[in-house]
Amino acid sequence: MGRLVLQAAAGCRSGWAQRAPASMWARGYSTEQNDATSGLPPAQGPLVGVKVLDLGQVVAGNFCGALLAYFGADVIKGRNRKCVTINLNVPEGRELVKRLSANVDVLVENFRPGVMEGWGLGPAHLRPDLIYTRISGYGQTGPRAPDPGYASVCEAYGGFRHLNGYPDRPPVRPNISLGDTLAGLHGAFGAVMALLHRNKLRQQQQPGASAAVGGQVVDAAISESVFNMEPQVLKTELGLTDAELEGLRAKGAI
């Protein structure tokens, strides 16, 4: 962990996968300029003009950044996004992240809580109006915050496995990273809500006031995202109903 490899892949909005020059966004870089020379159609959607630095890894963080890109955001990463390789284990790589983050609206990361702070890249180290979107297994605070978070475990912790499967067999895991994608979805939704809040604050400001307001930390946990989608878990814990494994059926659904 630490080497963030953001390489060209199917779906990248540009055809290059080089080490990003340190002045890339500092000199006003944008995907609109590159699209004009690449022959690709310009981005479209409600998030056009929003810039995102995606430091996500594996599934959850990547899915969050991809969702923002699907709706027009200008995202550095891969899969419908700009591609770059940054080594976060060296000072030069961390400095590049700082310079890029100074010119974006949203940062997405899903390292274990505390890792970004250890690199000097936590919310307190970056611009105050940044929407800092964090995805982890169990959230940024609490007794399990430092634990590694993988969907296979967090789905069980959030109650999904308790409800899924057959009565005579162990719980069944779907053949998709459901917990990761749910957390990515909650992270992207939180980032958009935070952007709307920041825009409203700026509209209410007096002329000449500083625009560096409205930054927020979006804290999306895999376990809580799963729990949020399963109200049946809460009903069972409160004794309002009995959890019965129904195999491929959804109890009470038409």
d(CA 200, CA 204): 6
Element (H, E) at 84: strand 82-87
Cα 191 to chain centroid, rounded? 8
Give me the phi and psi of 125, to 5 degrees please: -90, -10
The answer to whether 76 and 54 are in contact (CB under 8 A) is: yes
> Active-site residues: which are they?
180
The answer to whether 221 and 149 are in contact (CB under 8 A) is: yes
d(CA 86, CA 123): 19
Give me the phi and psi of 65, to 5 degrees please: -65, -35
Give me the phi and psi of 72, to 5 degrees please: 105, -5
